[in-house]
Copies of this chain bind each other. A is one copy, B any other.
Amino acid sequence: MEQKVMDPVLQKALEQFTALDEKITHFSSIIGLTDWDQKVMAPKKGRAIFAKATGTLRTEVFKLMISSEMGVLLETLSKPESAKELDVNTKAKVREYKAYYQKSKSIPADLFQEYSILTAQANDAWEEARANNDFARFLPYLEKIVDYKRKFAEIFGYEEHPYDALLDEFEPGLTVKRLDPLFAKLRESSVRLLERIRGNGKRTKAEIFQQSFEIEKQKAFNRYILPIIGFDLDAGRLDETVHPFAQTVNTGDVRLTTRYLEKNVRSALFGTIHEAGHGIYEQHVTPEFEESILQSGASFGIHESQSRFLENMVGRSKEFWKFFFPKLQEYFPAQLKNVSVDDFYRAVNTVEPSFIRVEADELTYNLHIMLRYEIEKALIAGEIEAKDLPVIWNQKMQDYLGVTPSTDTLGVLQDVHWSFGGIGYFPSYSLGNLYAAQILRTIQKELPDFYSHIENGRFDVIQEWLKENIHQYGKLYTPNELIVKVTGEELNADYLVEYLEKKYAEVYGI
């Protein structure tokens, strides 16, 4: 085979770009490790000063990403005549850096500075507001954040809806036009399904969980299941924090946290499985992408699909508990010896409308997201005003979930996202569920024994499929490219709707 000789200018640019990518990724990897450390390990008296140290390194990364060197390299590597000489990996890297570069460069420095100060203050205001059930405390900040986000949307540009410009930050390429029908179908079906469950009068034995489960035993059980479901503990850790998360340092170092509650054995269990879904994804990215921007997952939504797939499609399946329940009974004989695996399976799938998103079950969770999506979209379109949110929030809660929060702390103030300007983030969670159900459909076609593998504890077969078809590619593909490549079609809400119908028919006999 003939070796093509690359244009020397392009060759030089490619080398410089690769070195810059490596440097940025090295620094980001260090920031990832220090973020984990400050949440999990650092003594309290050092954190404020250390935040300044990481601030300096974050600024360094930001400067490199929007440097004139980066600008020139991206221009050279994006020329039409360069395209045919560059491999797909390089093109994906250019795509990622270019998106960030263009967005960052398009915002005037003083506007960005004002916005950064605003969000720092807004976070404090939100914390106070939530603690004191005082929406008015947060409102002026929220109003300003919405104003800035609307300005940014205009600066970034969009084709049809200003919210598209914000969605794009979390799920590149996604638009209101594509999302509206997906979410409408999911919302309508979920509301109907919830009504049927509530009307049917049957209950699960959720009181199984209203017992004490010794925390040391919970820890041992969580550590026991992790390697079995596919998380490599030689390439990661499991620790404890109040808010569980997964943090990647590199593909050989992925750190999970979970939270143990004595009165709620489900919390740590499904928290751990969820974070393991994120972590296994990152452990499986090809070593070829190590030390480059491609070493992470494709998008927020795709990442969430992997955590939800493992937590819900796998971890809340009957087969999962057929395999693991006898072991759980060994750990907790007093609590579980008289419980059947079927009752346990139904109990972990209990549906119960509640005020708080992060405590919601698999069905009602999406309704919490729909509500937030509709509010964000209307705020950015200028159709509603921030001051009216408590009323709008409670009305939608009543419409979709049939419950009304008694305070704003339990309602519109519950989530941190708006306080840091993360408008456009919430849809990722339900996107994750939609992607996960569509992937489930495909994996069941390609591995007809999918549920038998789970029942037999052969998670390796399932993880190998996920690695081969999704995980290994890291950030190589856009989320839309990836879901089409994996499932043969664009995102479709039918699969999640059918999955939920089927599951709750089984759990509640409806």
Q: Could you tell me which A residues sit within 8 Å of B by CB distance?
A: 22-23, 25-27, 29-30, 33-34, 37, 41-50, 52-54, 56-57, 60, 232-237, 249-254, 290-291
**Separation of A459 and B37 alpha carbons in the complex (Å):** 31
**Separation of A252 and B48 alpha carbons in the complex (Å):** 9
**Looking across the interface, which residue of chain B has its beta carbon closest to that of A283?**
B45
Interchain CB contact (< 8 A) of A234 among B37, B43, B60? B43
* A-B CB proximity, top 7 nearest: A46-B253, A45-B252, A46-B252, A26-B53, A45-B235, A26-B56, A49-B250
Asked whether B235 lies within 8 Å of A23 as measured between CB atoms, the reply is no
Asked whether A30 lies within 8 Å of B26 as measured between CB atoms, the reply is no
Asked whether A43 lies within 8 Å of B252 as measured between CB atoms, the reply is yes
Known: A33-B50, A34-B34, A250-B50. A234 touches B44 (CB 8 A): yes
Known: A43-B233, A234-B43. A249 touches B50 (CB 8 A): yes
| Residues on B with beta carbons closer than 8 Å to the beta carbon of A41 | 37, 41, 237
Asked whether A57 lies within 8 Å of B45 as measured between CB atoms, the reply is no
Asked whether A54 lies within 8 Å of B30 as measured between CB atoms, the reply is yes
Q: Shortest Cβ distance from A237 into chain B, in angstroms?
A: 6
Q: Shortest Cβ distance from A39 into chain B, in angstroms?
A: 13
Q: Shortest Cβ distance from A61 into chain B, in angstroms?
A: 11
**Separation of A46 and B50 alpha carbons in the complex (Å):** 23
Interchain CB contact (< 8 A) of A37 among B22, B37, B254? B37
Other than the given A25-B53, A41-B237, A45-B234, 11 more pairs (CB < 8 A) read A26-B53, A27-B53, A29-B50, A29-B53, A30-B53, A33-B34, A43-B235, A43-B252, A44-B234, A46-B252, A50-B249
Asked whether A291 lies within 8 Å of B54 as measured between CB atoms, the reply is no
**Separation of A27 and B52 alpha carbons in the complex (Å):** 10
Q: Shortest Cβ distance from A25 into chain B, in angstroms?
A: 8
**Looking across the interface, which residue of chain B has its beta carbon closest to that of A236?**
B43
Asked whether A26 lies within 8 Å of B253 as measured between CB atoms, the reply is no
| Residues on B with beta carbons closer than 8 Å to the beta carbon of A33 | 33-34, 37, 50
Asked whether A56 lies within 8 Å of B23 as measured between CB atoms, the reply is yes
| Residues on B with beta carbons closer than 8 Å to the beta carbon of A54 | 30
**Separation of A251 and B50 alpha carbons in the complex (Å):** 10
| Residues on B with beta carbons closer than 8 Å to the beta carbon of A48 | 252
Q: Shortest Cβ distance from A223 into chain B, in angstroms?
A: 13
| Residues on B with beta carbons closer than 8 Å to the beta carbon of A249 | 42, 46, 50
Q: Shortest Cβ distance from A46 into chain B, in angstroms?
A: 3
**Separation of A223 and B27 alpha carbons in the complex (Å):** 34
Of A25, A41, A45, A53, the most chain B CB neighbours within 10 A belong to A53
| Residues on B with beta carbons closer than 8 Å to the beta carbon of A235 | 43, 45-46
Q: Shortest Cβ distance from A487 into chain B, in angstroms?
A: 31
